Amino acid sequence: MSLHIVSKSPFSSTALSDCLDAFAEGDALLLIEDGVYALSGRMSERPAVQPVYCLAADAAARGLQIPDSVTAVDDAGWVALCAEHNPVVSWFK
């Protein structure tokens, strides 16, 4: 099952919506870099998919709170998610 990593803001890029179109049952979504801005928009209350993870450091750097529906991960957790899923797909356009 795939891990989708979104690194661009949904307010400036279609990366998140493109990713959600390709999201399959059993996949996981990880928000990093400006991708964490999704937490202030469509992911803030009821995420479109599950499970959703977020790099805690990138959210903290942008002053964003991580809602209960999203799991915060540190760098070790990021590596673990990549090890648990195959392939790892990065969305940055």
Residues near another protein (CB under 8 A): 5, 7-8, 13, 15, 32-34, 58, 75-76, 78-80, 82-83, 86-88, 90, 92-93
Q: Give 12-76 as a 3 state SS string.
A: CCCHHHHHHHHCCCCCEEEECHHHHHHHHCCCCCCCCCCCEEEEHHHHHHCCCCCCCCCEEECHH
Instruction: Pick the closer one to another protein by CB: 24 or 86.
Output: 86
Least spacing, CB of residue 67 vs another protein, in Å: 22
Least spacing, CB of residue 68 vs another protein, in Å: 25
